[in-house]
Structure 1
C-alpha cells in the first residue's frame, strides 16, 4: 500500500514537471510555431509529414497519460541544451527552417521521453529533422550541384554504350536533341523521401547510431545511382533508342518523368528497407 502511494506520488510529480516543461516549450518556441503555422497556411502539403510525426509522438504522451497513467520526468538538461542552441541560432539569425527544426525536435523529444522514460533511438532524430518542410530549401541549395553531378556521371555511362553524348551545363546533348536535368531530376526529393522513410523504419527497429549513419550513407549513394539510372532510362525512352518509334504522342514528358521516377524510387526504397532489416537481423544475432 505504501509502495503504491509512493509510486502514485512519483507519477504525479513527474506529470507536474512534464506539464510545466510542455508550457515552457510552447511559450519559448513561440516564434517557431508561428512560422510553422504560416507554412501550413501557405502550403499544407509541405507540413503533412510534420503534422503526422507530431500526432504520432504526441499520441504516445497522451496514451501514457490517459491509458497507462505512467508518465516519466522530462530530460530537463537535454531540453535546456536544445533551447540554448535555439537561442544562439536566433541571435545569429539562422534561417527559420533551422531554428524551427530545433524547436520541433525538442517538442518531439519531450513527448517521447515522458512516455518512454529513456532517450530515443538514432532514427528518431532523422524523422524529426526530415519531417520539417526542408525540401524547397534543399532544392535551392543543393538542386543545381546535384543535377550537375548526375549529368557528369551519366555521360561516361552512355558513352561506354557507344553513344556520342556530350554535356552542356545540365543538359545531355545527343545528335540534335537535348535532355535536360531539370529540378525533379536532381534527385533531392528522392533522397529526402528515402531518408525519411528509412529513418521511420530505423526508429521502429531501434537501430543504433553506427548502423543508422551507415544507412544514411548508403541511402545517399543509392539515390545518386538511382538518379543516374533514371536519367539513362529517360535517354533511351525519349530518344527512341530501344525502338524505331519514340514514345506515343498521348504520353507527355511529365507523365514519362513521373513514371520512370516512381519505378526508380520504389526500387531504391525496397533495397534500403531490405538493408535495414538485414542490419537488424545481424544485430540480433550478435547479441
Structure 2
C-alpha cells in the first residue's frame, strides 16, 4: 500500500497546474462554486473497503495518460486537463479502497465537481431553451392557451415571450444530475442502472423546466402583478416534482436490482 500511496502522491503532484486552475476558476465568479458540493460528495462517497494494491498494468496506464496530458498541454483546454487529472486521482483511490479503478458513480461525481456550469450554459443553453419552448407548447395548449413556438420564444396572440438564458435550465440540469448520481451511489446501483437513473433524471429536468416555462408564461400574461419573489418561487416549485421523479426512479432501480440479486 505504500507504493499505492506514493503513486497517488505523484498523481496529485503531476496535476498541480489543474488544481491551481480549479482554485482560480472557482473564485473568479465565472461559475457558481457548486462543484465544491460535488467534490465533497465525491470524498464522502468514495467506496471504502479492504486495502488493494495498484496493478502493474494500471500504473502504466496512469503513466501513459499523464504523458499524453503533458504532451497535449498546449492544445488541451484547462477543463479537459483538470477532468483527466481528477479522474486519475478518483481511479487510484477507488482502486485502493474497493479494488476497481472504474466506478461510474464516483467518476460522474468527479466530472460534476469540475467548474462546468458556465460551459454547459454556453454549449447547451440554446438547445435547452429550444427544448423548454417546444415541450411547453403542448402543455399550454392543454390548458387552453393557443401557444406557438418560434425558435426559443413563445407566441400567444400578439404576445411574444422569450425563453431567455436564465430559463434554459442549465442549473436545474446540474442539480438534477448531482441528485441522481448521489442517490445512485448511496443506493449502490450498478453502472447500467446508474446511467439509466441519470438519463431519467435528464428527462425529469426537461419536463420540470418546461413546466416552469408554462407557469412563468401564465404569470407574465396575468393582468395582476405578483410579489417580487414570484419568479424565483415558481422556479423552486417546478423543481420539486423533478426531485421527486429522480428520487423515485433511483428507488425503482434499486428495487429492480435487488429483485435480480435475489433471483441470482
1:140 Cα offset (Å): 0.3
Against the structure 1 CA distance between its residues 79 and 200, is the aligned structure 2 distance closer, same or farther, given a 3 Å change threshold?
A: farther
Per the alignment, residue 44 of structure 2 pairs with 56
Per the alignment, residue 135 of structure 1 pairs with 117
Aligned length: 257
Query: 2:69 touches 2:81 (CA, 8 Å); kept in 1?
Result: yes
Query: 2:129 touches 2:168 (CA, 8 Å); kept in 1?
Result: yes
Secondary structure of 2:161's aligned partner: strand
Query: 2:35 touches 2:112 (CA, 8 Å); kept in 1?
Result: no
1:129 Cα offset (Å): 0.9
Per the alignment, residue 178 of structure 1 pairs with 160
Which stretch of the first structure deviates more once superposed, 110-119 or 259-268?
110-119
Secondary structure of 1:166's aligned partner: strand
C-alpha separation in 2, matches of 1:128 and 1:51: 7
Secondary structure of 2:33's aligned partner: helix
C-alpha separation in 2, matches of 1:235 and 1:86: 50
The counterpart of 1:32, out of the listed 3, 11, 18, is 18
Per the alignment, residue 235 of structure 2 pairs with 261
1:159-207 per-residue CA deviation (whole Å, 9 max, x = no partner) reads 3443332334322222343322122211121111111121111112221
Unaligned runs of 5+ residues in structure 2 are: none
Secondary structure of 2:154's aligned partner: strand
Point out the structure with the larger helix share: 1
C-alpha separation in 1, matches of 2:18 and 2:25: 11
Secondary structure of 2:53's aligned partner: coil
1:83-116 per-residue CA deviation (whole Å, 9 max, x = no partner) reads 5345445617232112211211221222233233
Does 2:85 match 1:99? no
Say which structure, 1 or 2, has more relative contact order (CA 8 Å, 6+ apart): 2
4+ long deviations beyond 6 Å? none
C-alpha separation in 2, matches of 1:145 and 1:105: 28
C-alpha separation in 2, matches of 1:256 and 1:75: 56
1:17-65 per-residue CA deviation (whole Å, 9 max, x = no partner) reads 122102210222222112112113324724422541464368x88xx8x
RMSD in angstroms over aligned alpha carbons? Answer: 2.6
Against the structure 1 CA distance between its residues 153 and 277, is the aligned structure 2 distance closer, same or farther, given a 3 Å change threshold?
A: closer
Per the alignment, residue 61 of structure 2 pairs with 81
Query: 1:122 touches 1:207 (CA, 8 Å); kept in 2?
Result: no
Give runs of aligned pairs for residues 197-216 of structure 1, distance below 5 A: 197-216=179-198
C-alpha separation in 2, matches of 1:76 and 1:181: 53
C-alpha separation in 2, matches of 1:75 and 1:246: 67
Per the alignment, residue 246 of structure 1 pairs with 224
Query: 2:136 touches 2:214 (CA, 8 Å); kept in 1?
Result: yes
1:195-231 per-residue CA deviation (whole Å, 9 max, x = no partner) reads 1121111112221122112112211111111111111
C-alpha separation in 1, matches of 2:179 and 2:59: 26
C-alpha separation in 1, matches of 2:59 and 2:130: 40
Query: 2:45 touches 2:185 (CA, 8 Å); kept in 1?
Result: no
User: What TM-score comes out, normalization by structure 1 length?
Assistant: 0.78
Which has the larger Rg? 1
